A and B are shown apart, each in its own frame.
Chain A
Amino acid sequence: MKTLIKIKNLSHVYTSHNENPVKALNNIDMEINNGDFISIIGSNGSGKSTLARHLNCLLLPTDGDIWVDDMNTKDKETMWKIRQKVGMVFQNPDNQIVATTVEDDIAFGLENIGMDEKLMEKRVEWALKIVEMEDYKKSEPHLLSGGQKQRVAIAGAIAMNSSYLVLDEPTAMLDPSGRNEVMDILKKLNKREKITIIFITHLMEEAAESKRIVVLDKGKIFLEGKPEEVFKKAELLKNIRLDIPQITELAIKLNKEGLNIPINILKVDKMVDELCLYI
């Protein structure tokens, strides 16, 4: 596996004239490999969004460096190249849709980089197909559901041929079915299109779906590992205002009662299989 995003000693300090400077990120070291699906979790104010915004030059480090495919984000010359490589999707779908039809919205980024029209059409078709929105090509974005809007936003990012997709709480405003739609698309993008996903969420059940979890607390990396490893540490997570998935909590409780159920269960079906041995 090749390391493609490298973060070294990254710190970020927000300064404003009438308040004390806030150190949002404090000496972060991290590597993101090709094909990763990383969830970043942490309580409000832990630095998740600040970190995400560094990945495509929306913010620049106060200290330290970030390289995306060997390009330093501080280098003005390569800034636009990095932004093309690293697509961003934000929380509120209504704030990121710009055009009056779905296909125009997806083409917006491509038009900006002056892509040939024929090629552009092809890319829009491709992106729409991946997010399963090809039937809505001519629809007006404001008539779509929240989950559909987020899928359009994702299509807009991947149409640029991004290798990385950074999503800052893309499901926060969606209902359960919208959330599932987005999660399914992300898993597909990661598996089939080999797009590296960096996914910020407050929902532990969603983080459990990723390959690796990075837990931030007060601007530092607090824990890091596979979901099964991270959620085992329920007490530690609770100390920094986080939770664990319900099913993992249930496993821990049943363990205390003497049932021999692994305490790193994340999925309902696995729990059901385990329980069938007992009841």
Chain B
Amino acid sequence: MLIHLEDICFTYSLNMPFETEVLKGINLEIKKGEFVGLIGHTGCGKTTLIQHLNGLIKPTSGKVFIEGQDINTKGINLKKIRQKVGLVFQYPENQLFEETIYKEIAFGPQRLNLSEKVIDDRVREALKMVNLDYDIYAERSPFSLSGGEMRRVALASILSIRPKVLVLDEPTANLDPQSRNRILSEIKEIHKKYGTTVILVSHNMEKIAEIVKRLLVMHKGKIIMDDSPVNIFEKKSKQLIKVGLGLPQVTKCMHELKSKGKDVFTGVLTVQDARNEIMRKVNKNKKKQIV
């Protein structure tokens, strides 16, 4: 098991007047090569949870295992853990600091005492992964880029460490629709091509459900659903709305049709899915009429 969380509880400001229990007994297993979405209402504990995955936060109680290793035992080399689990924070472009994009992306590998040659390879590879042309971008300042490009450079600077697990906290917040689609398809591609395990955190259902294979829904510090997006959209739509998460428009449309007595499948994730389902139904009705 790549990631194994055992009964994680976390309380901010423990034993203080503003003590807040953020995580309440999280049990979770993620296998190598999975593509997982983690969604939930603001304040449900998503960000706190992922910060446990590379030891940025230590649980108040419970254990975090990465490749079988309890990462909060004494003498553990957290640097190694953080090399395995790469965390891309919200608005990662705020963390850019180097003079050139090359130096920015080389920063991580340099800390790993790799040779110049290997570092150079990794920078090139990382830039390629996020579809930025080396010759055009390497020597430019990261601060002269557009919002979407800056975010991709920030992502590349984590990829250059070659993490086994890539955790992304709201990677598409504030991007225009096209940059949003682009960064998501790059993440998908990385997952496919390099077998990287990906955990995608978001409160935006629409796009996430479309690309992940497994969806975790958090509410008030607990994981309340853990299933495929199709099953969740089909069977747990009411509960999703109840915990402050909306349904994509097309999914809502199918549910409303169903509530009007139409026999349609409601677990649709994309516009294309909805189109297919509606056409299937229309054609079936046509046949009936002919008969």
Contacts and interface: CB of A to CB of B under 8 A. Distances in A.
A79 to B, nearest CB: 29
Given A44-B146, A174-B42, A254 B275 contact: yes
A177 B41 contact: yes
Contacts of A259: 278, 282
A177 B244 contact: yes
A81 to B, nearest CB: 32
A1 interface: no
Contact of A254 (B244, B245, B278): B278
A94 to B, nearest CB: 12
A173 B285 contact: no
Given A242-B177, A275-B278, A250 B260 contact: no
Contacts of B274: 250
A219 B173 CA distance: 22
B288 to A, nearest CB: 11
Interface in A55-69: none
Interface in A237-279: 238, 241-243, 245-247, 249-250, 253-254, 257, 259, 268-269, 271-272, 275-276, 278-279
Contact of A176 (B173, B245, B262): B245
Contacts of A225: none
Contacts of A31: none
B147 A272 contact: no
B239 interface: no
A174 B204 CA distance: 9
A145 B249 contact: no
A36 interface: no
A202 B175 contact: yes
A172 interface: yes
A279 B264 CA distance: 9
A145 B206 contact: no
Nearest to A247: B249
A173 B173 contact: yes
Contacts of A204: 177
Contacts of A175: 40-42, 203, 244-245
Interface string B231-256: 00000000000001110111011001
B271 interface: yes
B41 to A, nearest CB: 5
Given A269-B256, A275-B257, A202 B244 contact: no
Interface string A22-57: 000000000000000000001111000000000000
The B contact surface, by secondary structure, is helix
A253 B274 CA distance: 10
Contacts of A246: 206, 248-250, 271
Contact of B271 (A249, A268, A275): A249
Interface size range on A against B: 35 or more
A250 B275 contact: yes
Interface string A99-132: 0000000000000000000000000000000000
A77 interface: no
Given A243-B177, A257-B275, A276 B260 contact: yes
B281 A202 contact: no
Contact of A43 (B173, B179, B271, B272): B179
A135 interface: no
A205 interface: yes
A178 B43 CA distance: 12
A272 B257 contact: yes
B201 to A, nearest CB: 12
Contacts of A249: 271
Contacts of B178: 43, 238, 241-243
A271 to B, nearest CB: 5
Given A175-B244, A276-B262, A253 B176 contact: no
A70 interface: no
B219 to A, nearest CB: 11
Contact of B148 (A19, A44, A169, A245): A44
Interface string A146-187: 100000000000000000000001001111111010000000
A253 B275 contact: yes
Interface in A214-244: 238, 241-243
Q: Across chains A and B, which 8 residue pairs bring their CB atoms closest together, nearest first?
A: A241-B178, A176-B246, A243-B177, A177-B244, A175-B203, A43-B176, A246-B249, A279-B281
Interface of B: 40-43, 144, 146-148, 173-179, 203-206, 244-246, 248-250, 252-253, 256-257, 260, 262, 264, 271-272, 274-275, 278-279, 281-282, 285
16 contacts: A42-B176, A44-B179, A175-B42, A175-B203, A175-B244, A177-B246, A180-B246, A238-B178, A246-B206, A246-B271, A250-B271, A257-B275, A268-B256, A271-B253, A276-B262, A278-B285
